[in-house]
Structure 1
Amino acid sequence: MNINPPSATGQLGEDAAGERARLESIQRNVDAFTIGLIEDLRIDASWNCLELGAGAGSIAYWLAGRCPDGRVVAADIDTRYLDAGRAANLHVQEADISEEGYAPGSFDLIHARYLFCHLSTRDELIRRAAGWLSPGGWLVVEEPYHLPAETSPFPLIQRLLAAYQRKYSEHGADMTWARGLPAHLARCGLSEVSYSGNLGRMGGGIEKDRWLPLITQAAPDLIADGLISEADLIAFSDLLKDPAFIDIPQITISAWARRPWDTSKVSQKADTDRSGLEALRVE
């Protein structure tokens, strides 16, 4: 999701190059985990899918290839990073989901990653998204759960994460909301609720560390407000080059649940089948 507060989406920084770097960094680090979750749902080639907050499009593109007999709607408030020509069954849609919706029963799979925690009406939007599922369809939501900044073993990271989390909170984001995701899905009337966690990694000598573009993009606002200094930013870049520096800044909580099958239709089909069997017996 392209999320840039104080806009409707909620992320810090408006620079297009920086935003693409941030989105692509996220994709490199978490796509494999996301794809594994969706594959475990026994995705079918004919499914109709909705990718909410499609960002730079990696999951939408993967879904389009995985569901060639279905369709994939890639929705985002900012579609400049999406390529509608990647697949014939891919439909890119510029949309603010806080204002727009879809017909009930439209999708076999709805996926959103790092989206709802930035939206003020997040609980209601999850409930609305559950209504867009077809019977038997899955809603998969992945959101960050930020660990307390003061628990980092590195004083510099304590300062950076405290500033980062404070700024997001000022723009209406809730970086601990994800803890309630499984219960919320159940309250929306969904069944087969399950969840998993993906530990975030900062440092460890990883090339193109995910957190560098995140902090760099937010840095101008954080520095302007006196929350961090230019020296902090330089020190962070240097720290990431140290293979002995490893921290766990957050956990991505992924939760998924299913819209129950229409039991009335199942019952009706069973009655019809029984009637057919009775007719065969009479004959």
Structure 2
Amino acid sequence: MTRRQAATAPYRTGLLGNDDPRERDRLESIQRSVDRFTTDIVDGLPVQASWNCLELGAGAGSVAYWLAARCPEGRVVAVDLDTRHLDAGRAANLEIHEADITRHDYVPGTFDLIHARYLFCHLRDRDEMITRAASWLSPDGWLVIEEPYDLPPTDSPFPLVQRILSAYQHTCRQHGADMTWARKVPALLARNGLTEVAYAANPGCMGGLDKDRWRPLIERAAPALLAAGLVTEGDLGQFTELLKDPAFIDIPQLTVSAWGRRPPHTPPPATPVGERARG
């Protein structure tokens, strides 16, 4: 797939466009706040050093690099629509693929582990993508999907946060994202023939400039929020000041991780008619 083709994908632009210089900061803030949760989940699986792994929506690469070290006798394929933040030289068993996974296929039965984080909620045909990803698993392979579940903004004890999160969630919906889709993932894994389905949640913390991932996230979204008239410059300034207050702590979101295993000696699930990937 050419870069021009990739640029036409709906999640390549807007809130998630890599051309914005703040995107790297956003990706790294996610890694700082969620990586430990992610690696603990994967470490709870029967990971073997020889596993072949696929990291979907690899972002700035921290999970892909960790998997490469965790499976030194196997290989890790890190795929993203834009790979400028990924370093193929980090490991000999790491491969970087620049591709739109909604149009790109992998050989069925290829991977022992497939992981994606904060990706599927931005895809138009996210339910069908679960089916396709499950088809790429080898027998006994594991699919791990991690997605945000936004809590209602009106439940926040801080009126300013209510306004900002309402604006942010509205903007996400306008860009085609479903920030409550995570609730469906365990059932989708089971419906696609995976077994041993389980799930866990990690509450996100809003508060503290040194560790908060919401400052880079809101800064990243700020132009769209301002352009739509959903917040003011004053709101954004007050939010930054609020983060400096040690008494400010809020829980705006959960990260839901769900995983399941493809049973041995079973054919991969069939991709729905009309949803077969191109390219």
The answer, yes or no, to whether TM exceeds 0.5 is yes
More deviation, 13-22/142-151: 13-22
Q: Is the Cα–Cα contact under 8 Å of residues 141 and 254 in structure 1 kept in the other structure?
A: yes
Match of 1:22 among 19, 22, 26: 26
Which residue of 1 is the match for residue 169 of structure 2?
165
Q: Give the secondary structure class of the aligned counterpart of 1:255.
A: strand
Question: Which digits, 9 at most, give the CA deviation of each residue in 1:40-86, with x for residues without a partner?
Answer: 10211000000000000000000001111000000000100000111
Q: Which residue of 1 aligns with 2:187?
A: 183
Higher relative contact order (CA 8 A, sep 6+): 2
Amino acid at match of 1:210: R
Aligned: 1:39 with 2:40: no
Q: Is the 8 A contact 2:117 2:146 kept in 1?
A: yes
2: CA distance, partners of 1:167 / 1:202: 19
Question: How does 1:1-283 map onto structure 2 within 5 Å?
Answer: 6-8=10-12, 11-12=15-16, 14-203=18-207, 205=208, 207-262=210-265
Asked if the contact 1:4–1:10 (Cα under 8 Å) also holds between the matched residues in 2, the reply is no
Shift of residue 11, structure 1, vs aligned partner: 3.0
Amino acid at match of 1:43: V
1:186-211: CA deviation from partner (whole Å, max 9, x where unpaired): 001110000000001000x3514100
Post-superposition CA distance 1:175-233 (Å, at most 9, x none): 00001110110001110000000001000x35141000000010011001100000001
Unaligned ranges ≥5, structure 1: 265-283
SS in 1 for 2:79: strand
Amino acid at match of 1:234: G
Closer, same or farther: CA 9–153 of 1 in aligned 2, 3 Å: same
How far did 1:101 drift?
1.1
Residue 6 of structure 1 and its aligned partner are, at CA, apart by: 4.8
- Deviations 1:86-118 (CA, angstroms, capped at 9, x unpaired): 111000000100011100001000000000000
1:153–1:4 distance in 2 versus 1, CA, 3 Å: farther
Report deviation, 1:246: 0.4
Give the counterpart letter for 1:19 in structure 2.
Answer: E
Deviation track 1:108-153 (CA, whole Å, cap 9, x = no partner) reads 0000000000001000001100000000000000000000111111
1:105–1:131 CA contact under 8 A, matched in 2: yes
RMSD between aligned residues: 1.8
Report the residue type matching 1:240 in the other structure: L
Q: Could you say if the C-alpha distance between residues 195 and 56 of structure 1 is closer, same or farther in structure 2, counting changes exceeding 3 Å?
A: same
Letter in structure 1 aligned against 2:265: D
Q: Percent identity?
A: 67
The 2-side partners of 1:210 and 1:5 are apart by 26
Deviation at 1:17, TM superposition (A): 2.6
Amino acid at match of 2:73: D
Quote the residue 1:270 is aligned against: none
Unaligned runs of 5+ in 2: 1-6, 268-279
Preserved CA contact (<8 Å) 1:9 1:77: no
Instruction: Provide the aligned length of Structure 1 versus Structure 2.
Output: 261
Which runs of structure 1 show a deviation greater than 6 angstroms over 4 or more consecutive aligned residues?
none
